[in-house]
Structure 1
Amino acid sequence: MTRGRRRVRGAVVGLAAVLLAASAGCGPSTSGAGAQDAAHDAPAATGNAPGDTNAAADPSHPLAVVYRGPAACDGCPEAAQELLERNGFTVRFIGPDEPLRFGPDALTGAALYVQPGGTNGQEVTTAWNLLRRTPGFRPELIRDYVRGGGRYLGICMGGYLAGDPGYDLLPGDSGEYIKTAGATVTDDQDRLVDVTWRGQKQPMYFQDGPYFDVDGPGADVVARYTNDRVAAAVAAYGTGRVAVSGPHPEAPADWYSSYHLPDVSRTGLGLGDDLLHTLMGPS
């Protein structure tokens, strides 16, 4: 398997207060398809109307823009949406089939941009090329947004794409964990992976996610795999911040049941809350 082959899966009101202080941060196809269809049936939840780039008028519900398109798997954007909405965000999807499309003003008013998990068998270069062929998309749109004070959250494939090939937002790069020495997961099946998250051991949903070579000044290492590779981190980029995770803290309970895995979704979602709080905090 070449680098990047994966089926990546890839409400706390206090987070909105954290964001305000900062400004005065792959799921099973059976569940994902239904969630995606439901989202398309609810225009208010899927994206801004053309030209409406200031949907986050309510500061208590900051706007998160989540990519949904061919570089994301079925269910991954929706799982990210659930994590974000329970943390007080208003969510809009962006992509080739969404009301909100990439363009110079696409992220105006956004507090956060999210790149979710990718499709099984999809290499990082393939996902990146799909993004680059999206009408209106330019890597500089995301880079300039984060450099100017925005926030980027990359989960699994989104974590790979924070490196190179990708947006190149990290003070380092991403790599394929299952090929590292001492990895506890060595195939691309949906499994639990053990990490140490802020000093506490925790199994998390995992499907061929990345590790990150960002261990150095300016990087806050949030979690490590058991072989000491970085599993989740937050780092500065310009005046903005970038958060990346190899495992899936946004994974809902049905992802675990679909693959007959012990359900640790409640704890996992708590880790997702923690990552968001860290990302959206002061730079």
Structure 2
Amino acid sequence: MSGRPSVLRRRRVLSGFLSAAALLAAGCGQPEAEAKPPVHSAAAPLALVYNGPQGCAECGPAVADLLRQAPQHFRVEYVGPGTGKPLTAAVLAEAQLYVQPGGGQDLDRTWQDLAGSADVVRDWVRGGGSYLGLCFGGYLAGRDPGFGLLPGDTHGYAGSPGSTVPDERDTVIEVSWRGQQRHMYFQDGPTFRLNEGADAAVLATYPNGAAAVVVAPYGKGRVGVSGPHPEADASWYDEKGLTNPDGVRMDLAYDLIRATVSR
């Protein structure tokens, strides 16, 4: 569950879309993008990005950049300890999307900072909000520890039966996304084991058929989770000497965001 190479040993969860910020352990990390994000009006949908303590200072900003450049052109605000904006019902009430980015390899430690807001997040999603979890944030959508937002639970893909990934090293993995073979950046992300008959859409599967990207309802809301990193930009691949056979494209990330916020 560690992430891109960095002095912080992070887990790449949500850092790719930025040519500039980064993710880590179940998320990731990247440098800050040179291009300034577009200016959005107050009418644009609001996305809240968790940016509290998680061992990855760049993960939140990376996701923020991605969301600002997405077709929906979200406004972005950070939430969590140290941001000046706690994760409360009143704060969530103003948002359309909540994103849980990467933050390290220690789920239990990160959960200590999130557990007090778990009921608030669950109630908000149940009432119509949207949760997006990438890699580390995907793990946290599961249980023990986690928000318990999925009709099933999460498990590590690397080293699992039939897995094409033997260990935690950063790699490029092939998935079947809506029936099309695609390649994605991967670093110790989860697979999603859904309950039999679960009301969920599996957008992508790993080579062994396990669910890699899932969108599922939760009450009136929706939960989107991904084990691989659809947000990874070219700098991620360059830093690790990896190549994506499809070219580095953001269409899968935008597809996941659209599926997560659509009703």
Deviations 1:122-161 (A, max 9, x none): 23222212433xxxx4211110110000000000010000
Aligned residue identity for 1:189: R
In the alignment, is the contact (CA less than 8 A) between 1:27 and 1:255 conserved in 2?
Answer: no
Q: Distance in 2 between matches of 1:262 and 1:78?
A: 24
Q: Distance in 2 between matches of 1:34 and 1:204?
A: 20
Unaligned 5+ runs, structure 2: 4-9, 14-21
Equivalent position of 1:208 in the other structure? 188
Q: 1:254 aligned to 2:235?
A: yes
In the alignment, is the contact (CA less than 8 A) between 1:153 and 1:242 conserved in 2?
Answer: yes
The verdict on how the C-alpha distance between 1:108 and 1:72 changes in structure 2, with shifts beyond 3 A counting, is farther
Report the Cα offset of residue 27 of structure 1.
3.1
Aligned-pair Cα RMSD in Å: 2.8
Count of aligned pairs between the two proteins: 242
> Percent identity of the aligned residues?
44
In the alignment, is the contact (CA less than 8 A) between 1:212 and 1:230 conserved in 2?
Answer: yes
Report the Cα offset of residue 99 of structure 1.
2.9
Q: 1:129 aligned to 2:112?
A: yes
**1:42-121 correspondence runs (5 A):** 57-58=42-43, 61-71=44-54, 73-87=56-70, 88-119=73-104
Q: Distance in 2 between matches of 1:166 and 1:71?
A: 15
The verdict on how the C-alpha distance between 1:210 and 1:114 changes in structure 2, with shifts beyond 3 A counting, is same
Q: Distance in 1 between matches of 2:160 and 2:171?
A: 17
Report the Cα offset of residue 177 of structure 1.
0.3
From 170, 185, 210, the equivalent of 2:150 is 170
Unaligned 5+ runs, structure 1: 11-25, 46-54
User: TM-score, normalised to structure 1's length?
Assistant: 0.77
Aligned residue identity for 1:85: R
Q: Distance in 1 between matches of 2:128 and 2:41?
A: 16
The verdict on how the C-alpha distance between 1:28 and 1:150 changes in structure 2, with shifts beyond 3 A counting, is closer
The verdict on how the C-alpha distance between 1:268 and 1:179 changes in structure 2, with shifts beyond 3 A counting, is farther
Equivalent position of 2:252 in the other structure? 271
